[in-house]
Structure 1
Amino acid sequence: MGNSLVAADAAGLHVFDELRTRSCCHQVEIINGGLGGLDLLPFFYNCDTVILVDRVVGFAEPGAVVHLGWDILCADWHGGYSPSSELLYLLKSLPFLGVSPMPSVCMIGIEGAGARETIKLAADMALEVAHETP
């Protein structure tokens, strides 16, 4: 996920590009979620796991890569809407939108714009989570 027009918010898109170059990814469906939000709803149906990759702020030091589970993603969000909260709105709405069974949802978050090595680490972490899923 990310915004290709804003370099500081393109880390998720760089991970997408990195994953597409890897031969091991034929077992995993990789999509460019762009700015995300409600447009991502169809990808939550008929799957076991959804791994989002995006830039995050305030979870770790700049340059770090973090694994955020469902509970952390939705913990402090109490509703309302802004462009930055559209993804959280979607996540909180999934149980009410007929998504059943509910997939396991997590985010691989990149603090900051993401240097090359950080992008590779995020791609590695996303694949690790994907392969842990039964």
Structure 2
Amino acid sequence: MESFVAMKVVCIVLLFVIAAEAASTKESLAVNQSKDKDRIKFNFPRYVPNHHVFASNLLKICTAYTPETQARNDGSQTTYKPRINDLQVNFKNCTFLCKREFGNVTLNLPVDTPCGPNKQTCADKSKCVGHIPGC
């Protein structure tokens, strides 16, 4: 009888250990997935200091853009999210492509955006140089 009770206790403890291990595995997966977001490799030039922050700022501009001809709330629900493409950022013209549900639109980069290796910014577009990926 005592061995039967001891066996039950061992089984219960084993179940708790398995449950705790499964919970910690789920937590570590969630942490690793959030860290992987910062590992995205962007094709921006070296003179852009923080590629992830820069891309996030462009995405915010793209999301906030509302053309005058498009009503913001037309009653339809959609899961489409605005997008940017790091290969469609033109540092020479200080523009980037914003992909929206209602169509693509070219928007201006912020005036403080670096657009050349010698501290040029989009405030003076005439001094900006084109970016060649990989250089």
TM over 0.5: no
TM-score using structure 1 length: 0.23
Whichever of the two has the greater Rg, that structure is: 2
Structure ranking higher on relative contact order (CA contacts 8 Å, 6+ apart): 1
